[in-house]
């Protein structure tokens, strides 16, 4: 008789996300109100189900996420956010009287721009609660805005979308084709061409119709190997710095690595991406306030 392995639970995912964000199993236990052994058990069970470790554990050191753990963290957050949204009513006012604003935002924009704004926003507007939603493919955005399942979207796109109302262009975002110094040197010596270099691109649902992939043609690159897509910008940057290939990334993300010589720009200038904000017609009026604060924060940043 074959014993079916149990699926992982949302409880295990919550323990994993709390430990990853806190950088400590003990702090995660305090946050969730359970014991530290319970946190360890939840994460170990999740790792057994997935078939690979999520943390590097060494006695006396802080547990660190593995590469697979970084990938799983964002997936787990999206699963938990989606589950929470499904359990809540569609109305914007919760039982606590706060107005919920459903914001769909990618991992980089969330970490770099939204998080620094949150403490001030909540202090100034305690009646607002932001509910983070998963990133949607552009083809699903019009329906989500019309149904009111999303109030605000903060995205990077290759071109301004058609047929979506209330699109506000925040700014152009320069992009650059980058590789490691060793790859750049091998190209300079004629040992390899850009066609020979493995290409790793962001797997971004908001960049429709393989826009980033088409930019390779702009610089005359026809990759011989299939393009590899990875979801997270920081993971891609680490891979490129490690010499695993070349990628098209936002200049603002890699400017420090370029200045330090860890990365080198390859090829001519590329057309920029667009940073946009979209507000649903059915969004509560508080969503307009959040939109204005987000746009002001984004425009206050000096482009790379």
CATH 1.10.10.60 fits 10-83, yes or no: no
The reported pTM is 0.65
Instruction: Give ranges for CATH 3.40.190.10 in the chain.
Output: 88-171+274-300, 175-271
Task: Give the Cα separation of 79 and 17 in Å (integer).
Answer: 11
CATH of 88-171+274-300, one of 3.40.50.300, 3.30.460.80, 3.40.190.10, 3.40.50.720: 3.40.190.10
pLDDT tens track, the chain, 304 positions:
444 455 778 888 888 888 887 778 888 887 778 888 888 899 999 888 888 899 887 766 677 888 888 878 877 877 776 666 555 555 565 555 688 898 988 777 888 888 888 888 888 888 888 888 877 777 888 888 888 889 999 988 888 888 888 899 999 999 999 999 999 999 999 999 999 999 998 875 555 457 888 888 888 889 999 888 877 778 889 999 999 999 999 999 999 999 999 999 998 889 999 999 999 988 888 888 888 888 888 887 654 4
The residue behind tokens 């590097």 is 56
Task: Give the Cα separation of 208 and 218 in Å (integer).
Answer: 17
Helices (H), the chain: 10-22, 25-32, 36-50, 67-87, 107-109, 115-124, 141-147, 181-188, 211-218, 233-241, 251-260, 285-300
Task: Give the Cα separation of 8 and 22 in Å (integer).
Answer: 21
Phi, psi of 55, deg, nearest 5:
-125, 150
So what's the architecture of 175-271 in CATH? 3-Layer(aba) Sandwich (3.40)
Task: Give the Cα separation of 131 and 81 in Å (integer).
Answer: 8
């Amino acid at each position: 008789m074959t014993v079916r392995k149990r699926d992982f639970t949302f409880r295990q995912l919550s323990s994993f996300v709390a430990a990853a964000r806190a950088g400590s199993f003990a702090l995660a236990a305090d946050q969730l109100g359970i014991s530290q052994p319970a946190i360890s058990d939840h994460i170990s069970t999740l790792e057994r189900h997935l078939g690979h470790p999520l943390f590097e554990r060494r006695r006396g050191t802080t547990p660190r996420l593995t590469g697979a753990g970084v990938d799983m963290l964002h997936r787990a957050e999206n699963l938990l956010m989606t589950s929470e949204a499904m359990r809540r009513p569609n109305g914007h006012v919760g039982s606590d009287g706060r107005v919920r604003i459903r914001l769909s935002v990618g991992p980089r924009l969330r970490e770099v721009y939204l998080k620094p704004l949150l403490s001030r926003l909540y202090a100034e507007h305690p009646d607002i609660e932001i509910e983070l939603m998963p990133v949607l493919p552009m083809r699903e955005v019009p329906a989500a805005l019309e149904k009111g399942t999303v109030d605000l979207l903060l995205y990077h796109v290759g071109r301004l979308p058609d047929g979506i109302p209330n699109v506000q262009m925040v700014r152009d975002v320069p992009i650059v084709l980058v590789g490691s110094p060793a790859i750049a040197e091998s190209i300079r010596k004629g040992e390899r061409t850009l066609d020979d270099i493995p290409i790793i691109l962001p797997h971004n649902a908001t960049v429709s119709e393989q826009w980033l992939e088409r930019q390779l043609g702009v610089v005359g690159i026809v990759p011989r190997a299939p393009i590899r897509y990875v979801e997270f910008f920081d993971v891609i940057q680490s891979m490129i710095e490690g010499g695993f290939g070349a990628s098209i990334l936002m200049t603002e993300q890699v400017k420090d690595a370029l200045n330090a010589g860890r990365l080198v720009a390859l090829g001519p200038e590329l057309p920029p991406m667009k940073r946009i904000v979209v507000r649903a017609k059915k969004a509560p009026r508080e969503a307009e306030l959040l939109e204005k604060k987000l746009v002001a924060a984004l425009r206050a940043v000096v482009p790379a």
